[in-house]
Structure 1
Amino acid sequence: MSERTDPAEPSTLIVELEDGSELDDILELEATVLVDFYADWCGPCQLMEGTVEAVAEAVDAPVVKVDVDAFPQVAARFDVSSIPTFIGFTQSEPSDRLIGMQDEESVRQLVD
């Protein structure tokens, strides 16, 4: 699991999934989680990177990035067929989702 934290904001956490079972571990440990399903080749996903980073800095919840090419089984498990897809989890259960380009406030509301 690779973690990037902003030194100015210690609670900022972006986790790039490196193992299919990591997501389950994070969902069990955290009350609220935002999951960003993306692919490196996806133009809209690339455009959303700044928004995802801004949301990660603004919320008190980890943001997990799942590369759908590397982890198709994880994407299929959560019925992700279009990217970018953002899913907010509360108590390990999906609570809401957004598909496609979104503004920062909409993404943030998934975990606020």
Structure 2
Amino acid sequence: MSESPNEIDEIRAQKREELASQLNGDETADESEEEASVPGEPIHVNGSDELQDAISTYDVVLVDFYADWCGPCKMLEPTVESLAASTDAAVAKVDIDRNQQLAQQYQVRGVPTLQLFSDGDAVEQVVGVRDESTLRSLIEQYL
């Protein structure tokens, strides 16, 4: 989790570059936005600002609300990591014990809860463990 500030800084820097290109009238700005590199591993989010940055940076974001003590969350972790590595969606992880306000904001009543965002809007919520193909199909509906 100590890497999360660096990941967020990289996202912010990339977004600043894209915005600067757009302001300068650079025609490649749209191309770079479409090809914004999605992290190959989950982004560990700590706080509302970091989650908003991720949601606004990427077109499709799957947010895994989890707890360290949760057995089903541990079972789901390899699936979440695989989706991060193999889909064009960004994957974020939110520890509900460290981010209780975020959990309340997104009405997380049980863990694991997966919230899918598309173009900044919450579009789907799944509670409980699901297999990778089900989650991949859900993500692909919004890509």
Output the TM-score relative to the length of structure 1: 0.87
Q: Distance in 1 between matches of 2:99 and 2:81?
A: 21
Structure 1, unmatched stretches of 5+, are 4-9
Which amino acid is 1:97 matched to? Q
Q: CA offsets, 1:37-95, max 9 Å, x none?
A: 00000000001111111111121121000000000111111111110011110011111
TM (normalized to structure 2)? 0.69
Q: 2:64, 2:112 within 8 Å by CA — same for their partners in 1?
A: yes
**2:41–2:81 CA contact under 8 A, matched in 1:** no
Greater per-residue strand proportion = 1
1:2-52: per-residue Cα shift (whole Å, max 9, x none)? 65xxxxxx8513101133310011111111100000000000000111111
The CA RMSD over aligned residues, in Å, is 1.5
Instruction: Select the structure of larger CA radius of gyration.
Output: 2
Instruction: Tell me the residue number matched to 1:75.
Output: 103
1:86/1:107 contact within 8 Å kept: no
- 4+ runs of 1 displaced by more than 4 Å? none
Work out the CA distance in 2 between the residues paired with 1:82 and 1:101.
11
**Which structure 2 residue ranges, 5 or more long, are not aligned?**
8-37
Higher relative contact order (CA 8 A, sep 6+): 1
